[in-house]
């Protein structure tokens, strides 16, 4: 089984990223293509990706937005890709290609990547927080990913921190959106592309007052989120990921905000254990690793691969 290769697919809002990995998580090859805007085109694109590799792979791991029923292989909601709602993606592809396939939520996939080969290795209880358009998450308890009976554990985007808001801004994932933070600063600076993260972070580092205040407020919001999870679960470590996390000042800013929060509230210092906060090991490729690990953890998949090997003996 160690010589087998697998196809990992990460369905994102902008790109479908995909790669061939071996059983140890080494990436053999990878590529990406624009995400289509309707279900028929997306399924066609996935089939095209699979067919290029189908003779050389033993299984397919998929990471997708939305709530994912990993047992039935169905995506609900679909995040920003609402056309994925109620899509039985595993059965569609499995009926066609007759190989093991597993799907997992994108935030949970990132957590699985960190559990397997990243900064949550050897951590009993931890969390991955993925900052982007919303906030993805994966909770690890007793060295296992917590999914929940209805697969909604770790959906931290929907934690409410501004109950007075009438709109979706009452939810953490909307008012503490990394994309929203970058866009707010980018528009203030008059950038031709308000979502130019590199230019936005340069303005923060250079000391622009407005940019710094928006950034601090953002870090404060994420620190409050970590505190609220910590009060409930007492985790050892939080790893912060997402494209924005490649900027070192982000994790430093969140850690500073978290420490300020505890300094302001002596009861927190006395009552609640302070966790480690650091960046994820993996950034853009995290979900490729996590999708594969989810596939390899699936007992049915393991049995099928072993049976296929025995038939070849």
**pLDDT for 57-96, tens place per residue?**
999 999 999 999 999 999 999 988 999 999 999 999 999 9
Angstrom distance (rounded) from CA 278 to CA 250:
10
- Residue 65 contacts residue 11 (beta carbons within 8 Å): yes
Compute, in degrees rounded to 10, the torsion defined by CA atoms 195, 85, 225, 245: -40
Specify the pLDDT at position 54: 81
Neighbours of 97 (CB within 10 A): 17
Specify the pLDDT at position 310: 65
Q: Name the stretches of the chain with pLDDT < 70.
A: 1-2, 299-313
Specify the pLDDT at position 309: 62
Q: Tokens 């590799």 appear where?
A: 53
Specify the pLDDT at position 173: 85
Domains of the chain: 5-105+285-312 (3.30.420.40), 119-279 (3.30.420.40)
Angstrom distance (rounded) from CA 12 to CA 19:
14
- Residue 302 contacts residue 129 (beta carbons within 8 Å): no
């Amino acid at each position: 089984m160690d010589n087998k290769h697998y196809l990992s697919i990460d369905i994102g809002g902008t790109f479908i990223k995909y790669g061939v990995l071996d059983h140890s998580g080494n990436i053999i090859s990878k590529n990406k293509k624009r995400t289509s805007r309707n279900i028929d085109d997306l399924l066609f694109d996935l089939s095209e990706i699979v067919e290029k590799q189908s003779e050389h792979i033993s299984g397919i791991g998929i990471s997708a937005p939305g709530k994912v029923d990993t047992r039935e292989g169905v995506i609900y909601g679909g995040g920003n890709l609402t056309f994925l709602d109620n899509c039985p993606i595993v059965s569609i592809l499995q009926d066609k290609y007759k190989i093991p396939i597993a799907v997992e939520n994108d935030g949970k996939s990132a957590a699985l990547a960190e559990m397997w080969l990243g900064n949550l290795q050897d951590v009993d209880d931890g969390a991955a927080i993925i900052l982007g358009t919303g906030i993805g998450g994966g909770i690890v308890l007793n060295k296992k990913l917590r999914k929940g009976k209805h697969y909604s554990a770790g959906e931290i985007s929907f934690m409410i921190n501004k109950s007075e808001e009438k709109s979706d801004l009452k939810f953490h994932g909307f008012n503490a959106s990394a994309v929203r933070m970058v866009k707010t600063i980018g528009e203030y600076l008059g950038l031709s592309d308000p979502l130019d993260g590199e230019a936005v972070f340069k303005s923060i580092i250079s000391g622009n007052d407005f940019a710094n205040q928006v950034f601090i407020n953002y870090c404060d919001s994420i620190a409050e989120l970590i505190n609220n999870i910590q009060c409930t679960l007492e985790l050892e470590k939080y790893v912060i990921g997402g494209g924005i996390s490649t900027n070192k000042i982000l994790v430093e800013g969140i850690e500073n905000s978290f420490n300020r929060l505890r300094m302001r509230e002596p009861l927190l210092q006395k009552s609640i254990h302070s966790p480690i906060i650091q960046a994820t090991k993996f950034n853009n490729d995290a979900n490729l690793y996590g999708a594969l690990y989810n596939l390899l953890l699936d007992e049915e998949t393991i049995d099928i691969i072993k049976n296929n090997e025995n038939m070849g003996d």
